[in-house]
Structures are given as C-alpha cells and as structure tokens.
Structure 1
Amino acid sequence: MQHPTSIIDPKAKIAEGVIVGPYSIIGPQVSIGSGTIIESHVILRGPTKLGKNNHIFQFSTVGDGSPDKKYQGEPTKLIIGDDNIIREGVTIHRGT
C-alpha cells in the first residue's frame, strides 16, 4: 500500500505487502522485500536492497552515498537482510 503523498521511482522494485507511509521517497535501484513497513518521511536511495519484514521508522535515510572523505564515486551498495527494525532518525550509508 502506497500513501498518495509518497514518491516511488518506477524503477524501484517493491514486493507485495509493502506499506509506504506519507511523504516517503523511494529512488531507483531500490528493492524492498514483502512485509516491510516504511513509515512517513523516509528516504531510500539505491543501490539498496531491503529484505523481508523490515520496519523503517520516520525521518530515516537509508542508502545515501558514502560520507567517507576518501570516497571517489566508485560503485557502492547497501544490503539489509530480513526482520530488522530501523528506528526514527537513523542514517545508513552505502559501504565503501
């Protein structure tokens, strides 16, 4: 179920049973497993893969680029498995 104020890129892969809350943004190269709940105001950037039954709380940013000063733009990705809880305001960057 997608809230009408959320923005989901057509290239994102969203499984059945995923709930996307108000004002959340899901970019391209994002894959979300079934049963996952995305609360309001969450930003998901790719390449990021979320497994099944995750719960991401409001105002979290997941999959943004690396903050490492040595990062030179080489390809990176983020993979999060099944059954995780990511509480409000958390930032998880892609690895380097």
Structure 2
Amino acid sequence: MNTIPDGNAELKFQKLVGKLTTLSAWTEKQQLELEMACDLSVALRQAAETMREEGARFESYTVMLEYARVLEFMMTMLSGHKDIHPRTLRTIFRFSGLHVDEAYPE
C-alpha cells in the first residue's frame, strides 16, 4: 500500500470538490437537494454521537444505515449531475423518517 500521498489524486479530488461546490451552474432544485444532503449529513453525525454517548442499540444501527444509504444515493446522483425525480426523493425521505424542504418541488 502506498502511504505517500499522490499529488495527482489530490488534484483530482480538488477538481471534484470544485465541481460540486460550483453552485451557479446548478438548478435551484439541485441546490435544494444539496442543502438537504448537508442537513442529512448533520443528522447522521448526530445519530453517531448519540450512539457513542448512549451505547449502540439495534435501532441506532438501522437509523444510521438508512441515513447513510439516502445520503449515498443523493451524493451519487448530484456528483453525476443526474436528475432526481422529486417524487422518488420524497418517497425515500418519507420511508427514512426525514424532513423534506418545503420549497422542494412536488
């Protein structure tokens, strides 16, 4: 395993982050999806902190898994600049017990 950082990999990562954070080229819907993904990552972190403080229970693992899978789906779609159908995202959020931004289209 190579333990020396690869400058080329760092450059690729910086380009990816730059591409994701250039919001001006994104639609308003995609910007809302990115904001919801950020909120979801905060909820995921809070769930992890709760698990650390209170001890892990089966319910905690399932919540973490649900949040992580939704976040993975959203970030995969957003990074590929693919469109997420609003009904699909609303359904996924509802099944996971997550809040959908009121401004998000129906």
- What TM-score, normalized by structure 2, do the two folds share? 0.22
Point out the structure with the larger helix share: 2
Which has the bigger relative contact order, CA under 8 A and spacing at least 6? 2
TM-score of the pair, normalised by structure 1: 0.23
Bigger strand share: 1
